[in-house]
Amino acid sequence: MSTRGLFVAVALAVALFAGTATAQAAGLTVRQAKRAAIRLGHKQQRTQDVVAFQLGRPHRVSRNQIYFPYAARTKGRNYCKGRLTVKRRVRGNRIEIASRIGKQRCKQIPADAVAVESATRKLRRGLRATRTGSVRRSIARCKSLDVPKSRRSTARAVNAIAVVEAVEGPNDKALGAFVKRLRNVQTDRKVLVNGVDGWTDWVAAVRSLPAIPYPCATLRRWADKDWAQDQAPIDIASFRAVDRRTTADERAIHQAAGFLGRVGVFPRLVLTFDLLRDL
């Protein structure tokens, strides 16, 4: 469903300016425009049924006009997109900065996207702090370790496993519950099906990895055994198989997150759904 925007809004800010010549010479700054745009967005939340809004990157039309791509989420779960324009005018010794949201196109957020959003909101509430900081410090302590060339791929894998487990380990219960909720989402939309399958497989794959809470200590113990192949802390072939799975899973999750963002799911929940993007 596509309709004309639910509302057209205008806001005006007026300021006294000492010196007409200086006022005419100065132009609208991005900072001024963004401040005015945010004010109008907040006004929409106070006076309309808008529950959240987003501003895109500013685009300068002229010295005194800047517009922002604008998107808003309404209480009725409509997602509206349009353009928020800010103009600056000098009238005598006054500066007027007017902001306006023009025509918008609105669509109802799909029910399956709303269901995924709901599952993700519960995940966000249940997430605990990760151990990535301590794990990365452990990895840094072993930078000077002289790893034989033939063992370096395994050493890198040890570090990679430790980083992933630093995210998954403290959140294993929350992620397990999240996957169960996602499996209950009714959808035949391929991008979401793939995203749900990606999360399901990713959690299962990471749970199958050996526990490596302290990668530097793990590598030093291996070094004490002269880097013997039969003393390696992980099986590199098994790791590579899991790595291929999780890489594909993360790609599917990222694509699903992109879809959720395009149809109007709250940005903070899109980021939560896509929390593996920086691993």
Residues 51 and 126 in one domain: no
- Residue 26: predicted pLDDT: 73
Measure the CA–CA gap between 211 and 162, rounded to whole angstroms. 8
Inform me whether the pLDDT recorded for 120 exceeds 70.
yes
- pLDDT class for 2, splitting at 50, 70, 90? very low
Measure the CA–CA gap between 252 and 160, rounded to whole angstroms. 20
Specify if 278 maps to a domain.
no
- 164-196 pLDDT per residue, tens: 999 999 999 999 999 999 999 999 999 999 999
- Residue 12: predicted pLDDT: 66
Last residue of a domain, one of 108, 139, 173: 108
Measure the CA–CA gap between 194 and 121, rounded to whole angstroms. 20
Residues 157 and 232 in one domain: yes
Start-to-end CA distance of the chain, whole Å, equals: 37
Residue percentage of the chain with pLDDT more than 70: 91
Residues 125 and 29 in one domain: no
Identity of the amino acid at 113: A
Number of domains in the chain: 2
Average pLDDT over residues 129-150: 95
- pTM of the predicted model as reported, rounded to 2 decimal places: 0.83
Average pLDDT over residues 231-240: 97
